[in-house]
């Protein structure tokens, strides 16, 4: 009685914010600036129509499914798709089939939907709707400064850093080819369009990295600073990596850094991957970061991570997909190129600039 499912209106963002504060009481990110960025500024969002579907009871929001609209490369085609994020109902409204109805409403607009890092309850809902489980996006970890990772200073932190010194010895001598030029800057220009068009030919399925989408995700996200490393060959961009350094460590030493995104050209791919990982690790060592983590589903990048001392963590974000348009191609995990930027992990990182 009195329950309806509708697409959120842009003038209801403040009401949504109040619901999210209630649903996630320990999460402080639901500010007006964040909600506006998240739901209205994404270049793939229909203007003025937040990509959010809500359950209302007596005109109050009691549940939601939020999405990130993306342009998906599928073989030689391009299609609109949606990442399913924050899928939640208040406890008293669970077990009534409302979660299924929410996802079905999204499917009416986006025939292809994908999700990462979901919990057991959400997994059951998606499975009941015929979504395909595709394993996980693989998580890798590399320890650098044990003192920083433990957020310890003084003698204890110094001792831990000394013990972990062998873990940093691999960086003593660079193996990078002289033909690569490494640039560290946060500009996202049109040269990346040509780069992405070449690079994406390697992957049957991938979210398109347009300059507009990368700018939205990595340059405009409130409260966060991402850093970009680019690799050039004779003024031509052949790869990039995006880094995120957490705050909260001792003496400005981040306890953890993340490689949020990484892409490489189809020419000399292994060499480009090695150059990107080496530059990323060197940057992390300069900052005395405790460790470096990344999520990826790509055999070449994963091989490069192992070459550079990363080890795979057993628990990784789950990956599921639903598509009425391209099921044969999208239901095979080996066809996908995915990174941490394709999940909600980077979006849900705690802010690393502004007020603590």
- CATH number, residue 239: 3.40.630.30
What CA dihedral angle connects 134, 66, 43 and 191, to 10 degrees?
-30
Return the number of other C-beta atoms located less than 10 Å from residue 8's C-beta: 20
Does the residue 251 lie in any domain? yes
pLDDT at 232 over 70: yes
Structure tokens at 337: 């190129």
Mean pLDDT calculated for residue range 341-347: 83
Same domain, 95 and 158: no
Q: Are both 88 and 160 inside the same structural domain?
A: no
Whether the CB-CB separation of 195 and 249 falls below 8 Å is answered with: no
Structural domain of 28: 3-110
pLDDT digits (tens, 9 = 90+) for 278-310: 999 999 999 999 999 999 999 999 999 999 999
Q: Which two tokens stand for residue 16?
A: 């949504």
Domain boundary among 71, 93, 110: 110
Judge whether 133 lies within some domain.
no
Please check whether residue 356 lies inside any domain of the structure: no
State the chain's mean pLDDT as an integer.
90
Contacts of 40 (CB under 8 A, 6+ apart): 10, 13, 48, 50
* Structure confidence at residue 175 (pLDDT): 57
157 Cα distance to chain centroid: 31
Query: How many domains does the structure of the chain reveal?
Result: 2
Rounded CA gap, 192 and 197, in Å? 8
User: Within this chain, do residues 310 and 258 fall inside the same structural domain, yes or no?
Assistant: yes
Highest-confidence range of 24-28, 152-156, 335-339, by mean pLDDT? 335-339
Q: Tell me what pLDDT residue 169 has.
A: 67
Compute the distance between CA of residue 80 and CA of residue 69 in angstroms, rounded to an integer.
7
CB-facing half-sphere around the CA of 192: CA atoms within 13 A: 21
What distance, in Å, lies between the first and last C-alpha atoms of the chain? 44
Q: What is the mean pLDDT of residues 67-73?
A: 95
What's the average model confidence in pLDDT over 113-135?
91
Which tens digit of pLDDT belongs to each residue from 10-53? 999 999 999 999 988 888 888 899 999 999 999 999 888 999 99
Q: What is the mean pLDDT of residues 164-180?
A: 66
pLDDT band at 205 (very low <50, low <70, confident <90, very high): very high
Same domain for 205 and 89, yes or no, is: no
Do 97 and 146 lie in a common domain? no
Percent of the chain with pLDDT over 70: 95
- Percent of the chain exceeding pLDDT 90 equals 70
> Given a cut of 50, is residue 356 above it in pLDDT?
no
- Is residue 53, in this structure, part of any structural domain at all? yes
pLDDT at 171 over 80: no
Confidence at residue 251, expressed as pLDDT on a 0 to 100 scale: 78
Question: Residue 1, Cα to own-chain centre: how many angstroms?
Answer: 38
**CA nearest to 135, candidates 264, 265, 321:** 321
Whether 92 is in a domain gets the answer yes
Cβ neighbours of residue 126 closer than 8 Å, sequence gap 6 or more: 84, 103, 115, 118, 320, 322
Do 296 and 302 contact (CB within 8 A), yes or no? Answer: yes
Tokens matching residue 147: 């003192």
* 298 & 189 share domain: yes
């Amino acid at each position: 009685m009195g329950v309806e499912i509708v697409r959120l209106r842009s003038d209801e963002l403040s009401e949504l914010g109040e619901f999210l504060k209630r649903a996630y009481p320990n999460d402080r990110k639901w500010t007006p600036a964040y909600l506006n960025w998240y739901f209205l500024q994404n270049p793939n969002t229909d203007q003025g129509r937040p990509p959010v579907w809500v359950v209302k009871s007596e005109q109050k929001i009691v549940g939601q499914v939020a999405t990130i609209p993306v342009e998906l490369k599928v073989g030689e085609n391009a299609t609109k798709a949606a990442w399913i994020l924050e899928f939640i109902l208040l406890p008293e409204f669970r077990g009534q089939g409302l979660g299924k109805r929410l996802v079905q409403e999204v499917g009416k607009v986006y025939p292809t939907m994908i999700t990462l890092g979901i919990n057991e309850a959400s997994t059951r809902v998606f499975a009941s709707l015929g979504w395909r489980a595709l394993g996980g996006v693989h998580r890798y970890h590399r320890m650098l400064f044990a003192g920083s990772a433990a957020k310890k200073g003084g003698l204890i932190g110094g001792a831990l850093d000394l013990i972990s010194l062998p873990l940093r010895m691999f960086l003593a001598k660079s193996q990078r080819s002289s033909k690569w030029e490494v640039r560290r800057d946060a500009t996202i220009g049109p040269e990346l369009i040509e780069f992405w068009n070449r690079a994406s030919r390697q992957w049957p399925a991938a979210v398109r990295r347009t300059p507009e989408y990368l700018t939205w995700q990595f340059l405009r996200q409130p409260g966060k600073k991402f850093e970009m490393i680019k690799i050039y060959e004779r003024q031509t961009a052949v790869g990039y990596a995006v880094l995120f350094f957490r705050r909260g460590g001792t003496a400005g030493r981040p306890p953890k850094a993340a490689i949020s995104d990484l892409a490489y050209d189809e020419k000399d791919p292994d060499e480009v991957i090695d150059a990107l990982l080496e530059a990323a690790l060197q940057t992390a060592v300069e900052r005395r970061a405790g460790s470096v983590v990344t999520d990826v589903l790509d055999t070449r990048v994963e091989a490069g991570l192992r070459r550079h001392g990363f080890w795979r963590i057993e628990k990784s974000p789950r990956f599921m997909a639903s598509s009425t348009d391209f099921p044969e191609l999208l239901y095979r995990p080996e066809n996908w190129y995915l990174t941490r930027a394709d999940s909600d992990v980077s979006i849900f990182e705690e802010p690393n600039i502004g007020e603590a």
